Structure 1
């Protein structure tokens, strides 16, 4: 006899397996599903509350972690322990975000390298993956509470310009939150699906997706053919959004009342109050012609025409980016069949008016612009669940494919559920000076350590010319052809040395074995990622020690004995941490060694530059 679950809250029949769509946003995140009765995508919310969960995490003194609305309250009172916009850090090194580091009010670790960023909260260090996992965990819990059923499978959306590392980081965050991430899809693709564009195989269209959120603007040009979405070009500005509209209003009020702007910066409370009032004014002007209110002793007023004049330059910037995206795709506005509007800031009347004028056609703007990406992710989830028979679902890889990296870690190149055929390339380098070969071991599976996965093949790339560690560039390419045969190629780009191996189809695994490998990866996600973080910290520490020792040996004449002694002591402590310490202890010692060596490294660098420039005129 088949068991049928009934949702006590709604009385509706529960599906055996619920796959949810998740929009993991910079400012807000949310979950959507296909309603079992209406078959229409809906965003999950409790009663009349909002479907949006602010992408904010607060770490309390007692170790308590809060996410969403509760965490938002700490932005003003406890900024150092309140993390926002973690998505901007996904798959990024400090070098990538250096010029915008002041944007973050919390501590982003600068280790002067191209390794991935970490965030320091008190004496703990978090990767953007761990931070995003807190948000996804909150969304999972919320969805389970509303649906009264376990949620373990999801489709998660990412910006179209996310690279391989950022997509893998998003998958890892899902896994850490206890979710089996069936597919990572592009936000503009999701938005198009929400409007039913590209669902039918015969659809042949070129679409512009205009996405103006709270803090970011993206424009994507997509071509749909045979149910396949191809991103032709993307453009935008990662620091332009509705927050800038609010800021423009705040600055107008500050000028009108002769408020000292530097004073406002110090009075965080007044600035926050003005910001909230400006956001209220922006929403109000969507319906009315004038907004009047006050903050403390300040009387505040703005009309629609004043507001539109303030934001006109910002809207023009978005259209200039749209122009660039069209140019990159080799198209004009006449080639665009549909324009899809995404993001809360597209509610602003001037934005809608100007975008419609620019593209010269009516807009798809009937769905809630905050929810449209999550709704599209739910449509994709429904397709993966096999409930939408109109849609072509191409063959996919059953398990992730990757290689072994330092410390026995699995580095995934082709994530599970990738469409076949597919090709992915990534660059690696050597760990030791003069290293002439690299052993490449190919694995299949979902665990973080290769020992827990299935080995498929191994080969050696030899004949790499002698170079210092980190200088050779080895490009590794994984190609799965239409027959499911994996071809792995390794090429040292500076010398052209090349090697390849063919791995026959990854059969030989029953569905039960695949399922059990997946289940194990979810069950052990927390400990796997903890081990991965520890191994990565140990590797980073060893490399840091090698570099520092080499630097001291080379530049001993420019250093003081006290500096060498202090550094030797810090290296001893770091070595001790590598042997017995936790991830956070190792990171703290790395940071200490960094702080110690930075002043003299800069001094030596300045001397070298001065020496090189001697007698030269600029």
Structure 2
């Protein structure tokens, strides 16, 4: 007998499962669905509460993880255990974020490599994927609580400028949270769908999506034709948002109060009180002409006009980005048919007026700007569920396609549900000096280890000229043509050696087999990600041992006896850690070996630079 879920909140009969739309934001995140009765998109929320869940994760004693409002309240009290803006770290290495590392109050690991950045909390190490998965899990549980029905499938939105690695990281986070991620869609596309744009096949439009969130700003120019969304250009500033509008009010009051900067450095609570009051002022001035507040018996006021004078340079910055986006798309303001406003900060009247004046036409802001992206994701989810028959979905790949990399890991080049025809490529290199061949093994499936996926093909790229490890550049490219035939090519870019293979369409899998592979990927997500993290940590550790050994053999005369002794001990400790099943321990020993070797590695670098300056060969 089939179970029927009844939603107590709406009293409506529920389906066995629903596909939800999720906006995973830098500042706030939320879930939306298409209401089964009204057929309209709605953001899910408990009675009298907000639909927004702050994208903040707090790690407490005994491994207790809290997400959302409760965690946000601990940002001031426990900054090193409270992680915010994890989205900014998605798919990034330390080298990508080093210039902004000071903006984070928690510890970002500087391992000077191009591997994915890690965040240290106590003696545990978390990747941005794990951090985002805690937020997604909270959203999933919240949705299940409100809908009284299981939620296992989702459409998740990402910024238009997210690259392949960042999109894959978002997919992995969903999988780790127990969600089958049916699609990753661009935030501006979702916002347009929420306004019903692109739902008519014959519609041809050019749209500007202006998205000013809590911590980030971006503008995207889209072209819609035949129900297909194409991003023509995107521009913005990942460190400009509503927080900056709060800051200018806070600065204005702090200067007028005559309090020294040191007072705020020593009293974080006072700083937070100013910040919250400034946020309240910004919101009030969207409707009122004046705002007054008392902080610790000091009275402060600000008028709408004063606020707008202070805010104008920030708004001008966003308009400059709009002009650049138009230029990149080869368009003028007159070419844009519709302007869609996204993000809570677009409620500031000055922002709306300035954007409308810039484009020379009124802006769309009827839909709640905080919810518009999630609502659009719900529209897309409804199309995927087959409830919206008017909308054509292009043919798609049923399962992810990728190749085997070190440690037997699956590296996905084409994620499942990608529209075909599609092309994707990625560069790899050799692991050993003088390696003359590379084996390319092609797999299909959603698990992290290739042994759990289905092998489709394998070939050797041989004849690579002998070079040191890491020097050859082998580009592996996947192309699926309109008939669903996959062509895999491998080419060594320095020498031009290449080889390709054709893999037949649809790969002979029945719907049941596809369904089973997807189900397995979700049920085994936790152990898969743990295994992947362990394999990656071991690979990183082995590479560090090999490079340290090579370095010492070459520069032994530069090291003091003490340094040699400390390095040997650190190497031995790392070697031992590699034999254990504990990724945090391996990362810890990698960090310790890096600490020991940093001083003499820097000396060697200085000496090499000095020799080069004198014209000597290094």
Give secondary structure in 1 for the equivalent of 2:397.
Answer: coil
| 1:176-231 deviations in Å (ceiling 9; x for gaps) | 00000000000000000000000111111010000000100000000111111000
Distance in 1, Cα, partners of 2:474 & 2:107: 33
Deviation at 1:419, TM superposition (A): 0.8
2:16·2:149 contact (CA, 8 Å) conserved in 1?
Answer: no
| 1:455-514 deviations in Å (ceiling 9; x for gaps) | 000011112222222222211111111000001111122222211111001332111111
User: Is residue 392 from structure 1 mapped to residue 396 from structure 2 by the alignment?
Assistant: no
Evaluate the alpha carbon distance shift between residue 393 and residue 615 of structure 1 in structure 2; reply closer, same or farther with a 3 A threshold. closer
1:417-456 → structure 2 map (5 Å cutoff): 417-456=417-456
* Structure 1 stretches of 4+ moved >3 Å: 1-5
Give secondary structure in 2 for the equivalent of 1:580.
Answer: coil
Distance in 2, Cα, partners of 1:374 & 1:75: 26
1:433-582 → structure 2 map (5 Å cutoff): 433-582=433-582
Give secondary structure in 2 for the equivalent of 1:499.
Answer: strand
1:40-439 → structure 2 map (5 Å cutoff): 40-439=40-439
Give secondary structure in 1 for the equivalent of 2:478.
Answer: strand
2:341·2:363 contact (CA, 8 Å) conserved in 1?
Answer: yes
Give secondary structure in 2 for the equivalent of 1:161.
Answer: coil
Distance in 2, Cα, partners of 1:434 & 1:259: 65
Distance in 2, Cα, partners of 1:292 & 1:100: 34
Give secondary structure in 2 for the equivalent of 1:596.
Answer: helix
Distance in 2, Cα, partners of 1:359 & 1:121: 46
| 1:424-468 deviations in Å (ceiling 9; x for gaps) | 111111111222211110000111110011000001111222222
Distance in 1, Cα, partners of 2:57 & 2:359: 39
Deviation at 1:254, TM superposition (A): 1.1
Distance in 1, Cα, partners of 2:295 & 2:576: 56
Give secondary structure in 2 for the equivalent of 1:168.
Answer: helix
2:16·2:150 contact (CA, 8 Å) conserved in 1?
Answer: no
Distance in 2, Cα, partners of 1:36 & 1:615: 75
Distance in 2, Cα, partners of 1:615 & 1:554: 21
Distance in 2, Cα, partners of 1:402 & 1:615: 46
Evaluate the alpha carbon distance shift between residue 539 and residue 6 of structure 1 in structure 2; reply closer, same or farther with a 3 A threshold. same
Distance in 2, Cα, partners of 1:565 & 1:278: 55
Evaluate the alpha carbon distance shift between residue 457 and residue 578 of structure 1 in structure 2; reply closer, same or farther with a 3 A threshold. same
Give secondary structure in 1 for the equivalent of 2:506.
Answer: coil
Evaluate the alpha carbon distance shift between residue 375 and residue 575 of structure 1 in structure 2; reply closer, same or farther with a 3 A threshold. same
Give secondary structure in 2 for the equivalent of 1:446.
Answer: coil
2:456·2:507 contact (CA, 8 Å) conserved in 1?
Answer: no
2:7·2:146 contact (CA, 8 Å) conserved in 1?
Answer: no
Distance in 2, Cα, partners of 1:213 & 1:207: 19
Evaluate the alpha carbon distance shift between residue 214 and residue 560 of structure 1 in structure 2; reply closer, same or farther with a 3 A threshold. same
Number of residue equivalences: 616
2:5·2:148 contact (CA, 8 Å) conserved in 1?
Answer: no
Give secondary structure in 1 for the equivalent of 2:340.
Answer: strand
Distance in 1, Cα, partners of 2:321 & 2:436: 46
Instruction: Answer with 431-440 or 262-271: which moved more.
Output: 262-271
Give secondary structure in 2 for the equivalent of 1:319.
Answer: helix
Deviation at 1:581, TM superposition (A): 4.2
Deviation at 1:615, TM superposition (A): 7.7
2:400·2:414 contact (CA, 8 Å) conserved in 1?
Answer: yes
CA RMSD after TM alignment: 1.2
| 1:40-79 deviations in Å (ceiling 9; x for gaps) | 0000000110000000000002210000001011100000
1:579-618 → structure 2 map (5 Å cutoff): 579-614=579-614
Deviation at 1:4, TM superposition (A): 4.1
Deviation at 1:2, TM superposition (A): 6.5
Distance in 2, Cα, partners of 1:10 & 1:375: 18
Distance in 2, Cα, partners of 1:396 & 1:615: 57
Distance in 2, Cα, partners of 1:9 & 1:283: 30
| 1:319-358 deviations in Å (ceiling 9; x for gaps) | 0001000000000101101000000000000000000000
Instruction: Answer with 556-565 or 382-391: which moved more.
Output: 556-565
Give secondary structure in 2 for the equivalent of 1:62.
Answer: helix
Give secondary structure in 2 for the equivalent of 1:340.
Answer: strand
Distance in 1, Cα, partners of 2:113 & 2:11: 56
Give secondary structure in 2 for the equivalent of 1:463.
Answer: coil
Evaluate the alpha carbon distance shift between residue 256 and residue 3 of structure 1 in structure 2; reply closer, same or farther with a 3 A threshold. closer
Evaluate the alpha carbon distance shift between residue 229 and residue 256 of structure 1 in structure 2; reply closer, same or farther with a 3 A threshold. same
Give secondary structure in 1 for the equivalent of 2:76.
Answer: helix
Distance in 1, Cα, partners of 2:507 & 2:573: 48
Distance in 2, Cα, partners of 1:431 & 1:615: 32
Distance in 1, Cα, partners of 2:268 & 2:335: 48
| 1:21-49 deviations in Å (ceiling 9; x for gaps) | 00000000000000001100000000110
Distance in 2, Cα, partners of 1:83 & 1:482: 44
Give secondary structure in 2 for the equivalent of 1:506.
Answer: helix
Evaluate the alpha carbon distance shift between residue 17 and residue 557 of structure 1 in structure 2; reply closer, same or farther with a 3 A threshold. same
| 1:117-157 deviations in Å (ceiling 9; x for gaps) | 00000010000000000000000000000000000000000
User: Is residue 11 from structure 1 mapped to residue 11 from structure 2 by the alignment?
Assistant: yes
- Uncovered stretches (5+) of structure 2, i.e. residues with no partner: none
Distance in 2, Cα, partners of 1:410 & 1:114: 19
